[in-house]
Amino acid sequence: MKRISHILQELTEHYPLINHRHLRRVKTVTDAGGKSAHILLCQLPEALDFEPHCHEKLLSVTSIDLSDFSSESYCCRAASTPPITRKQFEMCKHDWPTSFHENKLLEKQLQGPDFSEFDSMCMAMAHEQVNQSVSSLVHKCGAVIADTERKQLIGIGHSMTGAHPLKHAVMVAIDSVAHNHGGGVWDSTPVLSACAMALLHSRIKHVHYNSPTSSGALGTVYKLHCHGKLNHSFTVTKRVKPIASSGS
pLDDT at 245: 39
Task: Say what the pLDDT of residue 1 is.
Answer: 63
pLDDT for residue 161: 83
Q: For the chain, 248 residues long, give each residue's pLDDT as a single digit of tens.
A: 678 888 899 999 999 998 899 999 999 988 887 888 899 988 876 545 677 777 888 888 899 888 878 778 888 899 999 999 999 999 999 999 999 999 887 887 777 666 788 988 998 999 888 877 765 555 678 999 998 888 988 888 888 888 888 888 888 888 888 545 565 666 666 567 788 888 888 888 888 887 767 778 887 777 888 787 888 888 888 765 544 433 32
pLDDT of residue 26: 92
- pLDDT tens for each residue of 38-74: 999 888 765 456 777 778 888 888 998 888 787 788 8
pLDDT at 242: 46
User: Within a 10 A sphere around the Cβ of 108, how many other Cβ atoms?
Assistant: 12
